């Protein structure tokens, strides 16, 4: 190893060494900005809209076919008499999910994502001018069926619910750590099928989530046979109460999102809620 021929240059120290020999006129500008800053600012703006109308917003994420729409259908059946609910449908348009929700008698707004693999805060803001938020208690966003990128995008919602169906395998949390680390609640779905599967262990699935240093609760449900629905409904109601209490103190809550490691690792403080000024969309 020497300092003349370049044999000591590794990917790790490359930039340091380059800086050692400043070239004429070359300036290095330190930036330290998240690449998703633009999305995150839009998300905070969306959240201010939701908070101004006191709506709790829940983002549902999972693989395709884990049962997001089926869960919404049976949840709405149970809650529509007592709560005012709406759905933003971001899953594939061809699945007619929005029509399935509308058939339950609540408003559903389809986002056309084309080939997009995730929703972002701008897509959600575009929908906001087509939908009345006034009077709503609960808004669900059904994200694109994908366990990879939706987890990185704050939409302005308050809670992430990640679904894992028993047919997918209990190792999914270990294979998709970014997604399962972002869960505020993990729902193990299609519980009615568990007796037919010999390789899915609920304990293993929970352990794999805990291994990600995520202490989010796990509930097991079957939307088909109404198993475990009561616990899910109670979770929703307690989240609504908690959110209302925060709003009274001019605070709000964010879902678990990437914290950018050391750059943003200041102690978690309650998120302040700033009312949005009425504006033209």
Partner 1 sequence: MHELSLCENLLEQVIKIAQQHQAKTIESITLNLGPLAGVEPLLLDNAFKILKIDTVVANAQLIINTTPIIIECPHCGEQSSATNNYLVCPSCQSNDTRLISGDELILANVALYTAT
Ligand X SMILES: Nc1nc2c(ncn2[C@@H]2O[C@H](COP(=O)(O)OP(=O)(O)O)[C@@H](O)[C@H]2O)c(=O)[nH]1
d(CA 137, CA 86): 9
DSSP readout, 202-249?
Answer: HHHHHHHHHTTT----EEE-BTTTTBTHHHHHHHHHHHHHHHHHHHHT
The nearer residue to partner 1, 42 or 46, going by C-beta atoms, is 42
Taking CB under 6 A as the criterion, the residue among 44, 51, 89, 91 binding ligand X is 91
Q: Is 193 in the site for ligand X (CB under 6 A)?
A: yes
> Considering the complex, what minimum distance in angstroms separates the CB of residue 49 from ligand X?
26
3-state secondary structure of 77: helix
> Considering the complex, what minimum distance in angstroms separates the CB of residue 155 from Zn ion?
13
Taking CB under 8 A as the criterion, the residue among 4, 28, 269, 280 binding partner 1 is 28
Distances (CA, A) of 84 to 51, 135, 216: 15, 7, 26
Contacts with ligand X in 116-155 (CB under 6 A)? 145
Residue 248 binding partner per list Zn ion, Mg ion, partner 1, none, with a CB distance cut-off of 5 to 8 Å that depends on partner kind: none
> 264's torsion region: left (phi>0), alpha (psi -120 to 50) or beta?
alpha
Instruction: Catalog residues that contact partner 1 under the rule CB under 8 A.
Output: 11-12, 14-15, 18, 23, 25-39, 116-118, 146, 148-149, 151-152, 173-175, 177-178, 181, 208, 210-215, 258-263, 265
Instruction: Catalog residues that contact Zn ion under the rule CB under 5 A.
Output: 2, 5, 7, 117-118, 149
């Amino acid at each position: 190893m020497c300092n003349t021929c370049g044999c000591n240059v590794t990917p790790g120290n490359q930039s340091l060494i380059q800086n050692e020999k400043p070239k004429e006129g070359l300036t290095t500008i330190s930036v330290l900005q998240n690449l998703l800053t633009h999305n995150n600012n839009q998300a905070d703006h969306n959240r201010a809209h939701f908070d101004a109308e006191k709506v709790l917003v829940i983002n549902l994420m999972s693989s395709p076919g884990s049962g997001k729409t089926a869960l919404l259908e049976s949840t709405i059946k149970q809650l529509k008499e007592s709560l005012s609910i709406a759905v933003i449908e971001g899953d594939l348009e061809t699945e007619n999910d929005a029509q399935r929700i509308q058939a339950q008698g609540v408003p559903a707004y389809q986002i056309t994502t084309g080939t997009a693999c995730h929703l972002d805060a701008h897509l959600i803001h575009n929908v906001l001018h087509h939908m009345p938020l006034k009077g709503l208690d609960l808004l669900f966003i059904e994200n694109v069926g994908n366990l990879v990128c939706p987890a990185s995008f704050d939409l302005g919602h308050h809670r992430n619910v990640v679904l894992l169906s028993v047919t997918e395998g209990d190792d999914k949390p270990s294979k998709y750590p970014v997604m399962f680390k972002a869960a505020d609640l993990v729902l193990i779905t299609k519980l009615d099928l568990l007796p037919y599967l010999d390789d899915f262990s609920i304990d293993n699935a929970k352990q794999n989530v805990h291994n990600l240093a995520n202490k989010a609760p796990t509930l097991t449900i079957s939307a088909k046979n109404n198993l475990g629905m009561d616990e899910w409904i109670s979770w929703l109601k307690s989240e609504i109460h908690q959110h209302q209490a925060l709003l009274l103190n001019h605070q709000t809550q964010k879902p678990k999102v990437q914290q950018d490691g050391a750059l943003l690792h200041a102690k978690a403080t309650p998120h302040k809620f700033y009312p949005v000024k009425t504006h033209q969309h």
